[in-house]
Chain A
Amino acid sequence: DQQVKQNSPSLSVQEGRISILNCDYTNSMFDYFLWYKKYPAEGPTFLISISSIKDKNEDGRFTVFLNKSAKHLSLHIVPSQPGDSAVYFCAASGGIQGAQKLVFGQGTRLTINP
């Protein structure tokens, strides 16, 4: 059973507009959430994270929103740029002593059109 789901395998957005990527989770023990970005032939790169004690975290053009009651988080990118075209992974953690066990979603391929 998949605990972290990204139901949109792909998303296409025009340059300059807002990109919204969504992620749902089922495990209420998760208390830390991350977004990673992956280009072809590279490993995932950390983008932004949020703790369950917050409902919003912003870093430049990237904002992550967390709705704990709905077990839903989203990543907003505004304005979208061509370099944002990549696969975006949502990940969640419940934490274990000494290390962090991340559970990943399947990913959403974002394409920014000029």
Chain B
Amino acid sequence: ETGVTQTPRHLVMGMTNKKSLKCEQHLGHNAMYWYKQSAKKPLELMFVYSLEERVENNSVPSRFSPECPNSSHLFLHLHTLQPEDSALYLCASSPWRGGTLTDTQYFGPGTRLTVL
């Protein structure tokens, strides 16, 4: 069983569309993350949720709106995106153990987003 799943795997949308990306983790983790990977650039952290509360927002434009209804699910709502938002969007999760630095993040396969 895949620990972290993402749907859809591919998405093409127009600039006026509204869509949502979904992430689900089956690992019992308490922290979830959204990353963006553009061509030839490092993975960029977008949002971090710990125990369902957002603890980090790396100055992401408001056209990206995250939602974490519970510790197993994470959404990224998209509206009025720009062509430069085309990228691979990766979800990850990790266990929370009160500040320990030894935890790793487990990634989903990503959603390849194309904005026309």
Contact = CB atoms under 8 A, between A and B. Distances in A.
Interface in A21-62: 31-32, 34, 36, 41-46, 49, 51
B106 interface: yes
B102 interface: yes
A101 B107 CA distance: 14
Contacts of A31: 101
Across the A-B interface, the 6 shortest Cβ-Cβ residue pairs: A43-B107, A98-B50, A99-B50, A104-B43, A99-B31, A104-B42
Question: Is the interface on chain B under 10, 10 to 19, 20 to 34, or 35 or more residues?
Answer: 20 to 34
B94 interface: yes
A103 B58 CA distance: 12
Contacts of A69: none
B99 A46 contact: no
B103 interface: yes
A100 B67 CA distance: 19
Contacts of B6: 43
Contacts of B94: 99-100
A99 B107 CA distance: 15
B66 interface: no
Interface residues of A, number: 29
Interface in B3-54: 4, 6, 31, 33, 40-43, 45, 48-51
Nearest to B9: A41
A102 B56 contact: no
A99 B4 contact: no
Given A98-B96, A100-B31, A106-B42, A44 B101 contact: no
A101 B101 contact: no
